[in-house]
Structure 1
Amino acid sequence: MDTILDIAPARRSGRRPNFPSAFKRKVVEASYQPGASVSMIAREHDVNANMVFRWRQQYQDGAFGPVSLSATLLPVEVIKTPIDLPSAAPPPQKSHSEIVIEVGKATLRITSSPDPQTLQLTLQQLLR
């Protein structure tokens, strides 16, 4: 059976409506339902959507009593299964690097891991 809160109070022409807190709370809580549209809820209750947004802020501030923080919990099942972890990864092999620089007729080939300072000095001399 529908209660009196399902329908917005009748408006008197020329005056701003003064909705009861219980009505505002009901509209706001309906707007927080999963999949609910504030616009649709506002139309269903014959109020402006901007008003519902304002009521939602007031609701969060506690203007209509304590905020209902009901959360929907999903069922969880814990299953104990052995976890097969791969054995320790083999250490990375030393990479063999090679740098080849060609400037004019000169070719410089550096293999292995060159010292950064030596490499910088060599590049500076080649690019002069």
Structure 2
Amino acid sequence: MDTNIVESDIRVKRSAYRQHSIDFKRMVVAQSFAAETSVSRVSRAHNVNANQVFAWRKLFRAGAYDIALDQQVKLVPVRLSDPMPVSVQPLSASPAVANGVVILEVGKARLRLEGLVDSAMLALVMERLLA
């Protein structure tokens, strides 16, 4: 069997790369991050390769194009008011809890009480921490 190798001067010209705008990329990436949406379907809907969409997602996560990805989190204004006045009874007027150790953990805060503990003060501290 003979093999004929023919050189050809005819070159097939490749079409130009598509240049997508940042707004288009932002829209496609936002759709791909939507709940219950597949990247494959989004890429097919916009005639873009799924690997390209994954690359754009990676860039957006890295902070490229100055785009905030987490649009579900919205900040609300906060107004602080004066603290409520606290009425504390004198320590000697309330009964005390028996000797022992009380450890109260709330988040990263840890309160350890040893010995005689004023029950009214403990109730006030717990009310403030747990509120």
Both proteins in one fold, TM over 0.5: no
Normalising by structure 2, what TM-score? Answer: 0.43
TM-score (norm 1): 0.44
The structure having more radius of gyration, on CA atoms, is 1
